[in-house]
Amino acid sequence: MTVKESLLYTSKTDDRGRMRAVTNNLILHFHPTKVAKPALRFSYTWGLGGISTLLAMILVITGVLLMFRYDASVDRAYTSIQTMETEVLFGSLIRATHHWSANLLIITAFLHMLRVFFSGGFKKGRATNWLVGLALLLLVIAFNFTGYLLPWDQLAYWAITVGTSLLDYVPLVGSAISGFLLAGPEVGQGALRNFYAIHVAVLPAILVVLMSYHFWKVRKDGGISQPVNRPTGADGKRQRAERVTTIPYLVQIELAATAVVVTVLLLFAMFTPAPLEALANPNHPPNPAKAAWYFMGLQELLLHMHPLAAMLLPGIVLMGMAFIPYWDKQEDNIGVYFRSKVGKRTAATGALLGLIVVPLLVMVDEYYLDLPALLPNWPTLISNGLVPLLLSLAALVFIYFLFRLLYKANQSEALTGLISFIIVGFILLTLVGVYFRGANMALTLLV
């Protein structure tokens, strides 16, 4: 039976045919009937948008199941999690699946953003979806942050204490936001109640709106981006990409990816339970007290600069990321990874520079450099804040123009190199924070 026949299917006698018609109908509510063949190439998207969608769906399902047993009270939250782990049928597996999907979603959404950037998927009318995507990434982080507190163990309590104290440094609005979140002078019942409400009601509502808009916009933009430099036909015009039916060509890839992701995730969750440390104890801070891993890049920056500068630097970079579609408008390299040969060179050099310069700077600042001591008459806001902030921004500008001059790179290619540098630098700062900071946040890199 063809797709068309199955959609027109009306017989009441053949249940399988009816099921197929209903399923096809449902699929075609979410997908167009045809998609461009090059868009199906796995090595173009790596399925990362779809995998992020699948993880979001798994999170909603497992999250609702967890809600049946979880109790958002400082006296009972921890024991409700313990009960879930030991007494509820499949409780431990459901909690582990929720926990690991949430962490994985940060990674897949981040990688999806990199795929979109490096393949130029934000160009040609896709700027809005790039911005919505950035909002989705921040939303996913907010989900993880608010969920982190709920088990009410030592890990949760101190990571959120550190995390909300980072928020305090955000200029203008930071302390108002952390004041609202905590609903008191420190992490306590008010914070747990607020985090829970935000985690299970506010953020899901925003997620549904943003994700629906994100998907609708992909369809409205004519599907995902396509290489524009397709071969020309006999008439001298660019050939149109071949189109194939969504059923079965796209759907079979989605089903295969779903089967792999769900299997790997469940196997991992079976053998790696979600962490649960001792009950939260406000009088007993761990040493070192670290934020959640996805904030460790920020916490690492705080060790090197005045808090205001440490918040401003990633803030400025994030704003720069939002401007990317207005900065790089060159359309003849859409769908080509890293834009061109020159783009590949700038990207590789940017990544290599990040790999060398960032760990080097971390070590120099840790062991040798003391800006406030070097500039004793200046207030620390300037010596340890404005000075390193301006130096960092100047370094980014320098790297951009280095690519323009050294490789004769155009705007698009130079930006590719600059973003490679920033991404590698950010990942390294996070890794240093997570793995190489010991007691009192001292560097353990050379120990």
Q: Cβ contacts of residue 111 below 8 Å, gap of 6+? A: 46, 48
Minimum Å distance from CB 123 to ligand HEM?
9
- Which tokens hold the place of 285? 């801070």
Measured in whole angstroms, how far is the alpha carbon of residue 125 from the centre of its chain? 23
Taking the complex as a whole, how short is the minimal distance between the CB of residue 84 and ligand HEM, in angstroms?
26
- Decide whether 32 or 190 has the Cβ nearer to ligand HEM: 32
Say how many C-beta atoms besides its own lie within 10 A of residue 346's C-beta.
31
Phi then psi for residue 238, to 5 deg, are -65, 135
**Could you check whether the bond before residue 248 is cis, i.e. omega within 30 degrees of 0?**
yes
Nearer residue to ligand HEM within complex by CB, 126 or 304: 126
Shortest Cβ distance from residue 371 to ligand HEM (Å)?
Answer: 34
Nearest distance in Å: CB 39, ligand HEM: 8
Q: Which is nearer to ligand HEM, 49 or 343 (CB)?
A: 49
**Closer CB to ligand HEM, residue 88 or residue 210?**
210
Shortest distance in whole angstroms from residue 92 CB to ligand HEM: 26
| Residue 225 backbone zone (phi > 0: left; psi -120 to 50: alpha; other: beta) | beta
Residues in contact with ligand HEM by CB under 6 A are 45, 48-50, 52-53, 56, 109, 112-113, 116, 121-122, 126, 129-130, 133-134, 136-137, 140, 211, 214, 218, 224-225
Residue 116 or 269: the one with the smaller Cβ distance to ligand HEM is 116
Give 187 or 261: the residue with its C-beta nearer to ligand HEM: 261
Shortest-Cβ-distance residue relative to ligand HEM: 133
Between 134 and 355, CB nearer to ligand HEM: 134
Task: Indicate the residue among 225 and 430 with the shorter CB distance to ligand HEM.
Answer: 225
Residue nearer to ligand HEM on the CB measure, 136 or 192: 136
Task: Measure the CA–CA gap between 177 and 169, rounded to whole angstroms.
Answer: 11
d(CA 54, CA 49): 9
Closest CA to 57 of 350, 265, 235, 225: 265
Amino acid letter for position 278: A
Residues 437, 23: Cα–Cα separation, whole Å: 52
Sign (positive or negative) of CA dihedral 400, 405, 407, 410 = positive
Question: Shortest distance, CB of residue 144 to ligand HEM, whole angstroms?
Answer: 12
Shortest Å distance, C-beta 247 to ligand HEM: 17
Cα angle for residues 10, 14, 20 (degrees, 5° grid): 70
The smaller minimum CB distance to ligand HEM, of residues 142 and 363, is found at 142
Distance separating alpha carbons of residues 344 and 355, to the nearest angstrom: 16
Q: Which is nearer to ligand HEM, 42 or 68 (CB)?
A: 42
Cβ 171 to ligand HEM, closest distance in Å?
Answer: 23
Rounded least distance, CB 49 to ligand HEM, Å: 2
Q: How far is the CB of 101 from ligand HEM (least distance, A)?
A: 12
Q: Smallest distance, Å, CB 351 to ligand HEM?
A: 19
